[in-house]
């Protein structure tokens, strides 16, 4: 439980033993809990979505839940996304890219990246309403008797909010386990890349696979396959650019895979 609580403390602003800065003795076990911490965040978002849904129109509700998500995570991964956009596409060699990513100031690439990602995530979440991706899934069958009482729009969005943070945290584990740390000195993401092995990537993948099968059936596996392909492509691309992962690039992949998850749901709902 100490490893789980430390993972939750690291990934959110939840005040769990904030005065205790001591890391667990074996950080290898912390990354196992990243997807579990993700579903805890997702459950919180779903519960927060309910009062918004009943008191505000959909346009406002989806904007508010994104603000809640940003607040609960302390914008940690969005900061990484902005720094990655500035560094990767603003620098001309490895050293310059890493130097730019160290800079706390945001540049034009970072601002554009944030606007595009938050805008696309907002409209994607807004569009997940009467989608049919969950048809014939175990979850859909289990709540079919209550479908007359629960609006499908509410179910679809709450399920997406539960699974979305799991996808992002799994992508961090995968990228950390299949790559090395790009900097010579330690940083925020060094313990993820340094302590994560391929065995841990495999075991950490079991939980997302279960969630995709439970909520979305075979189409969920197709969504997960799309996310895996993107994650592996990003690992290859970032290794080519700076030689490995940093905390910023892990934050980038967290945010982009969450967006890719929403877009994939919308894509498969049309098939």
Q: pLDDT value at position 223?
A: 93
For residue 36, give the nearest of 13, 77, 7, 73 by alpha carbon.
Answer: 7
What's the confidence (pLDDT) of residue 50? 92
* Predicted pLDDT of residue 160: 93
Provide the residue range defining the domain that includes 124.
Answer: 30-269
What residues are paired with 245 via a beta bridge?
181
Q: Identify whether 14 is part of a domain.
A: no
- Is 15 a member of any domain? no
Residue 95 lies in a domain: yes
Does residue 34 form part of some domain? yes
Rounded Cα distance, 105 and 111, in Å: 10
Residue 26: its pLDDT value, please? 64
What proportions of the chain, in percent to the nearest 5, are helix, strand and coil?
Answer: 75, 0, 25
pLDDT tens by residue, the chain, 271 residues: 778 888 888 888 887 665 555 566 666 678 889 999 999 999 999 999 999 999 999 899 999 999 999 999 999 899 999 999 999 998 888 889 988 988 888 889 999 999 999 999 999 999 887 676 666 677 777 776 555 567 778 888 999 999 999 999 999 999 998 988 888 877 777 878 877 888 889 999 999 999 999 998 888 899 999 999 999 999 999 999 998 899 899 999 999 999 999 999 998 877 6
Q: How many CA atoms lie within 13 A of 23 on its CB side?
A: 12
| Domain contains 8 | no
Residue 71 forms part of a structural domain: yes
Instruction: Decide if 17 is inside a domain.
Output: no
| Residue 223, CA distances (Å) to 60, 146, 155, 250 in order | 27, 26, 18, 20
Structural domain includes residue 247: yes
Residues whose CB is less than 8 angstroms from the CB of residue 265 and which lie 6 or more positions away in sequence, other chains included: 128, 131, 133, 160, 216, 223
How many independent structural domains does the chain possess? 1
Task: Tell me how many degrees the CA angle 202-77-82 measures, rounded to the nearest 5.
Answer: 125
């Amino acid at each position: 439980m100490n490893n789980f609580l430390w993972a939750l403390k690291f990934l959110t602003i939840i005040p769990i033993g904030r005065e205790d800065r001591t890391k667990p003795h074996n950080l290898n076990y912390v990354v196992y809990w990243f997807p579990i911490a993700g579903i805890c965040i997702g459950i919180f978002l779903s519960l927060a979505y309910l009062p918004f849904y009943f008191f505000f129109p959909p346009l406002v509700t989806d904007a508010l839940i994104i603000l809640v998500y940003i607040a609960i995570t302390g914008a940690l991964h969005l900061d990484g996304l902005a720094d990655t956009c500035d560094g990767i596409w603003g620098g001309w060699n490895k050293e310059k890219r890493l130097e730019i990513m160290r800079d706390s100031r945001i540049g034009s690439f970072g601002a554009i990246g944030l606007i595009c990602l938050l805008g696309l995530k907002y409209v994607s979440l807004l569009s997940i309403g009467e989608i049919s991706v969950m048809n014939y899934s175990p979850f859909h069958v289990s709540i079919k008797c209550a479908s007359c009482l629960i609006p499908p729009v509410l179910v679809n969005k709450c399920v997406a909010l539960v699974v979305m943070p799991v996808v992002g945290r799994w992508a961090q584990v995968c990228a950390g386990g299949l790559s090395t740390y790009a900097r010579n000195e330690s940083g925020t993401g060094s313990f993820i890349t340094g302590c994560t092995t391929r065995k841990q990537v495999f075991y950490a993948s079991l939980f997302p696979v279960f969630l995709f099968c439970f909520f979305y059936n075979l189409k969920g596996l197709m969504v997960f396959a799309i996310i895996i392909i993107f994650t592996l492509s990003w690992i290859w691309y970032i290794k080519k650019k700076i030689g490995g992962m940093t905390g910023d690039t892990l934050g980038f992949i967290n945010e982009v895979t969450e967006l890719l998850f929403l877009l994939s749901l919308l894509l498969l709902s049309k098939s």
